[in-house]
Amino acid sequence: MDWFRRGKRYERAQAAAAAARAAEWGGGPEGEALADLHIFRDEVLALTALPPDVEILLSDLAVGWEDVTPERPALTVLPMMESRGLVALPRGGDGLRRITFPGRLHALISSHRTPEEIRAGHRRVLARAVTLPPEGGHWWQLPVAETYLWHHLPWHIAAHDRAAAGRLVQNPRWLAAKVRVCGVAALRADLAMFDTPEIDAARRAVDRVAHRLERRACPDPVLRAGLLLDALAGEAVLRAGADHLRQELREEAPGRVATDLTSALVGVLPSPSYVKDVALAADGSWLVTASGHKASRIHDVADRSVRHVLGPTEGIHEVCAITPDGSRVITGDYDAARWWDAATGQHLRSVDGWTTQLALDPGGAWVATDTSPRPAVIDSTTYAIRRLGKKSDPRTSISAMACSPDGRTVAVSDLNGRIRLWDPVSGKLRAELPTSPGAVYRLAFAPDGSWLATATPDGVRILGLPGGRERLHIPGSHRFAVGDGGRWLAVPGDTVRIHRTDTGELLGEFTPDRRGRDHHVRTSPDGRYLATWHLGSASILVWDARRLVR
């Protein structure tokens, strides 16, 4: 019986301790749930650095709190808090989780920390943030992929130094950058935090043009900033700063990569963690991602939402494309090529067979794929399959495909470095170009058909057509995208370098996302818009190519 009595005493002691812990948190169901997390008390208390009553993507939060201790480990306690009914972590149509940290819970947790402890938490977030702008730079030069900081930096600064946060929020440079990156709602949230004559003036200016600053009303980030600066210049206390910034923007050097990347940013989209391919619509308003989650997604660039999820299917989606008229999306996986309605997300048709490469006829009549045993051309109306070459041709591992601007030639490369030009109608071989030094991983024709760009392990080459004579070689990457009507190539690596296609001259380089060491790039059909991302990235960045390279 002694062991039984000892067990009962232990249970009573545990219950008393739990009740005491719950009472410490104010009692009730909320207090009991927090008491149940007593071994994670430090992590729970670290959440006082989290903005309350604001929806935040967990992927954005994880980036903003990266390498911040103990705040970063605190994010691991959120699922435990969700299981106890303290917070909700709903998953949106994009498959990504969000949190809106309840203000009442935030106040309760904050009551258990001293003001200095709370400020220390914000300082740790800021300690990482100050390393992000260029050396000697300013907050409005934050990397555009730092979505969390772009939205919530003033909140953290205000907790540490409210006067400094007020000076930032009223600065025309911050205001112009913020409306480009985040939009007018986030701008208003900043201004609502303070009450000074300058910020009152900024609020009046924003209110006058707010309807014109919405992303849907004005998708061009530079025009949005221009509208805002015009409105700010109408307020006497802000006129000098707004006029000075407008003059600087007019004096950007032509023919080079923009120094202020926010001027070229169209949108920052949250994405699945493993993006295999991206296809941009011609007008840059939406895009498709093929991910390692056996599905593709149609994203709206303006409001960062997912319009439709295409799938799931049996295989991992390797490649995606948008038909020239924008009405359908094509995805490829190891099982089939699949057609989807772009407006509704409905599955329309599948053509069985390995599909990891797609090349679309600019006229929309057909799609070329690497479907085994030989590359095929699939009719866009009847879905009939026509093989390229002869039955006796040996099987090859196709590594890249591209269609010429006139739709009369399909370029097909393999892992042995061979590049062949085929007639998509007859299926006959037109020409074979000189063998490349290694596998060819990407192909693209010039908009006028005068050259073919190739990517191999030792760099990017531009081959003159029809003979395939090498015009120039750009070392350092086995990927590229053709931008702005064929005027330049975006060549990714640790950074994204921009090279002229006629001379190979480096026009500049930029770092879309500092966490990436292996960026990927895709452009819209005419090269007007550029998408950048890297494997494992939480964001896809969409750029206006003509703003990016002036």
Q: Is residue 505 in a domain? A: no
- Cα angle 95, 78, 75 (rounded to 5 degrees) comes to 90
Q: Are residues 118 and 103 in the same domain?
A: yes
* Residue ending a domain, choose from 450, 484, 518: 484
419 Cβ partners below 8 Å, 6+ apart?
411, 412, 413, 432, 433, 435, 436, 440, 443, 452, 454, 463, 468
Q: Is residue 245 in a domain? A: yes
Q: Are residues 361 and 387 in the same domain?
A: yes
Q: Are residues 395 and 419 in the same domain?
A: yes
Tens-place pLDDT, residues 205-223: 999 999 888 877 887 777 8
Q: Are residues 203 and 318 in the same domain?
A: no
Q: Are residues 21 and 111 in the same domain?
A: no
Q: Is residue 236 in a domain? A: yes
Strand order in the sheet with 385-387: 358-360, 366-369, 376-379, 385-387
Q: Is residue 500 in a domain? A: no
Q: Are residues 145 and 76 in the same domain?
A: yes
pTM: 0.85
Q: Are residues 355 and 244 in the same domain?
A: no
Instruction: Kindly state the helix (H) or strand (E) to which residue 221 belongs, with its residue range.
Output: helix 221-233
Instruction: Centre a 10 Å sphere on the Cβ of residue 312 and count the other Cβ atoms it contains.
Output: 12
CATH code, domain with 315: 2.130.10.10
Q: Is residue 509 in a domain? A: no
Q: Are residues 404 and 444 in the same domain?
A: yes
* Residue ending a domain, choose from 453, 484, 515: 484
> What pLDDT sits at residue 19?
60
In terms of residue numbers, what domain contains 354? 271-484
> What pLDDT sits at residue 1?
52
Q: Is residue 492 in a domain? A: no
Q: Are residues 29 and 47 in the same domain?
A: no
Tens-place pLDDT, residues 469-528: 999 999 988 899 999 999 999 999 888 999 999 999 999 999 888 776 788 999 999 999
Q: What is the tally of structural domains in the chain?
A: 3
Q: Is residue 462 in a domain? A: yes
- Report the length, in residues, of the chain: 550
Tens-place pLDDT, residues 251-278: 655 578 888 888 889 989 887 668 899 9
Q: What single DSSP character describes residue 253?
A: P
What number of CA atoms fall less than 13 Å from residue 342's CA on the CB side? 21
Q: Are residues 275 and 218 in the same domain?
A: no
Q: Is residue 317 in a domain? A: yes
> What pLDDT sits at residue 247?
81
> What pLDDT sits at residue 511?
86
185 Cβ partners below 8 Å, 6+ apart?
none
Burial per residue of 411-424, b for 16 or more beta-carbon CB atoms within 10 angstroms, e otherwise = bbbbeebbbbbbeb
Q: Are residues 51 and 109 in the same domain?
A: yes
Q: Are residues 238 and 178 in the same domain?
A: yes
